[in-house]
Structures are given as structure tokens and as C-alpha cells.
Amino acid sequence: MPGRTLRKRNRSRIIGATALAVGASLALAACGSTKDTGSGSAGGGGTGKVGVILPLLTSPFWQSYNDYVPKMAKSEGVDALKTVNSNSDPSQQITDINNELNQGVKGLVVAPLDSAAIEAGLDQAERKGVPVVAVDVAPDKGKVAMVVRADNVAYGTKACDYLGAHVTSGKVVQIMGDLASVNGRDRSEAFRSCVKKKYPKLKVLEIPAKWESDTAASQLGTLLNANPDIKGIYMQAGGVYLAPTLQTLKSKGMLKTAGQSGHIVIVSNDGIPQEFDAIRKGQIDATVSQPADAYAKYGMYYIKAAMEGKTFKPGPTDHDSTIVKLSSGILEDQLPAPLVTKDNVDDPKLWGNTVK
């Protein structure tokens, strides 16, 4: 409240009482909206610097997210510091969080590398009263104001259904992400469960690649030597696995385009421009578009809301998503992630078609 001297005490009391009443009504209004607009503020005004911590920058997906961050911060009215890259190191990510806190940030937007290890960083932030929004990966424990993430179980299920519809029987490969991440676990378990339940004639072979391109390439090469009759591949991260997978298939003379005899049906996750080009060329068949632009936008939206004291409840939002409560008690805004095939790959609304 602007500070100016009031000469009469009774006038001061009236103004003070009014301010308390307004503050109380705003605090009550902040208790849980099912819309993304939230409602009310508990005070504070949402001012202050916000730290943004990336998991890695070796993937085109995270490179795109990194490019979106300053644009979305500006559009949402958030004063974001330059992003920090944890270089795929969970321990470094905790150090990065502490460094940002020591710089006096008033909010943090973090994409966790390890769903369990991130708890240490979240605890540090909570002790300093700094709200955190998690993007892409939900923590197993620890306090966050919101998780901004698409439904990763749906990723695995969509990939399973696509392969099941195009491969009637035989061996399919699942190139998995890091199982220390809830994303890797959700996608792997969903794909595995869906195949077992709906497509029992498919045999799933698995590669635990930990979001590492070299690991994916070497293990896929070994697996193809022993199983040259592979009919389908599910890549859990096109940003990491696309290039090594296509190169490995090409080196073995197994990269056949869609429609050719011997074509291996390939489904991916991410929605990066390189995947779209591969779909157009017939090298892969589909991908689930993980919304890098929306991750940045709503990461900024929710950290601003948290800094202003706003809270939310489970339910539908006004941006075609649903807020759900996870088993940990954390709220997650599950953003839509469409399946992209040759039929809709040129849709200008897909974020992968809006970046170079």
C-alpha cells in the first residue's frame, strides 16, 4: 500500500480495517479454482526474479523449450533469469537449485531429471519459502505448486495402439527412457500393459536407454543382430533417439520407407521438427507431440500464480487440459498431446511446425 502520512487516527483505523478485510477476502478467494485463471491473491504481487532450470540441452525438444522460455515469461509478465542447464546430472540439478535460491529468486521452474532425487532441492526451496513449479516430470516427493506435464501414460498407450493397428504379430522394440524418471516409468509400463492386454500376438523387447543416444544406438544394434525380424519400434524420446535409431537401421540395410517391403513401423514421442520431417519422408510413422510451447507458457503462468498466493483444485481448465491430483497429493495440469501421423503432420497449430 502506498506510504503517505495520515493526520487523523480514526481515518488511519478505517483504512487499516478496510485493508484487512480486502486481504481476507482475497485469501479466501484463492482457495482452489478449477480454471487456469485461478482466483484472487493472498498478497505479494508476484514480484521477484524466477529461476528456470533445464534438465539438458542435447535434445531438440529441450532446445525448443529453452527458446520458448523467455518469450513465454515476457507474455506472462514473469521476470525470468537466464536458464540454467543441469547437463543430465541429477546432483548438479540440486546444486543449480541451491545456487538460484542463494541469488534470491522468488520462484523456480524446474524440469526434474530424477523424480526421487529432486526432493532435496524442493525441500531447500520450501525452507526458504520459494514456490516451485515442475515441468515435464513430476517429483515422487516434495512440495511443488503445480506440475505442468502431459499424460505420459497416454504416450505409451497411444504408441501401443498405433503399433498394434499396423503390426498384427511379431517382435516390437521399446526404447525406454530413464526409469528413475516418472516419465520413463509411465511410458514403459503403459506400453507394456497395453500390448499385453490388447495385442497379445506382439512380443515386446526392451532397451533401457536412460535418455542416452549412444546407449540407444549400441543396444539397438546388438538387439537387431539377434532379432533381424523386428517389425516395430517405440522410441520414448525422439529428440534423443531419432537420429541414432535411423542411423542404426540404415547401417544394417533395414531403413525402409513406409509402403516398402520390410518397413519397420516406428512411433516416437516429442513432436520435434526432425520427427515431422521423418514422417513426411516415410522413415517413421507417428509421434506424440509433447507441447514444448505449452510447457513454457504454463510453467510461467503457474509460477506467477504461486508467487501471488493463488491455488487450484482438480478439474477442467479453459485451455483444453485437466488438473488432476497425483497419488503423492501433488496437483498436475495434464496438457493435451496429440498423435501426429502423415495425415496431420502439416497442421500449422503443431508447435513442431512453428520452429526452425
The mean of the pLDDT values for the chain is 89
Q: What is the pLDDT of residues 112-126, one digit of tens each?
A: 999 999 999 999 999
Q: What is the pLDDT of residues 243-294, one digit of tens each?
A: 999 999 999 999 999 999 999 999 999 999 999 999 999 999 999 999 999 9
Mean pLDDT value of segment 220-243: 97
**pLDDT of residue 135 exceeding 90:** yes
Closest by Cα among 111, 115, 136 to 52: 111
Q: Provide the pLDDT confidence category of residue 18 given band limits of 50, 70 and 90.
A: very low
The grid coordinates of residue 105 equal 529468486
**pLDDT of residue 90 exceeding 70:** yes
Q: CA-based Rg of the chain, rounded to a whole angstrom? A: 23
CA dihedral 19, 24, 30, 31 (to 10 degrees): 180
Provide the strand spans (E) within 177-254: 202-208, 230-235
Mean pLDDT value of segment 159-174: 98
In this prediction, residue 46 carries a pLDDT of 52
Same fold, 29-150+291-338 and 152-289: yes
Q: Provide the pLDDT confidence category of residue 43 given band limits of 50, 70 and 90.
A: very low
In this prediction, residue 2 carries a pLDDT of 42
Residue showing cell 508476484? 46
Superfamily (CATH) of domain 152-289: Response regulator (3.40.50.2300)
Closest by Cα among 197, 338, 174, 178 to 265: 174
Mean pLDDT value of segment 190-206: 98
In this prediction, residue 298 carries a pLDDT of 98
SS3 50: strand
| 326 in Cβ contact with 148 (< 8 Å) | no
In this prediction, residue 355 carries a pLDDT of 84
Ranking 34-43, 151-160, 206-215 by mean pLDDT, the lowest is 34-43
In this prediction, residue 3 carries a pLDDT of 42
In this prediction, residue 236 carries a pLDDT of 98
Give 30: exposed, middle or buried? Use CB within 10 Å, 0-12, 13-18, 19+. Answer: buried
Q: Provide the pLDDT confidence category of residue 108 given band limits of 50, 70 and 90.
A: very high
Closest by Cα among 334, 328, 335, 331 to 306: 331
Mean pLDDT value of segment 345-353: 96
Closest by Cα among 43, 38, 48, 10 to 26: 43
Structural domain boundaries of the chain? 29-150+291-338, 152-289
Q: What is the CATH number of domain 29-150+291-338?
A: 3.40.50.2300
Mean pLDDT value of segment 14-43: 36
Phi (first) and psi of residue 80, to 5 degrees:
-90, 135
The grid coordinates of residue 111 equal 524440469
Mean pLDDT value of segment 301-310: 97
In this prediction, residue 10 carries a pLDDT of 40
Mean pLDDT value of segment 75-81: 98
- Dist CA 263 CA 242 (whole Å): 16
**pLDDT of residue 227 exceeding 60:** yes
In this prediction, residue 179 carries a pLDDT of 94
Q: Provide the pLDDT confidence category of residue 25 given band limits of 50, 70 and 90.
A: very low
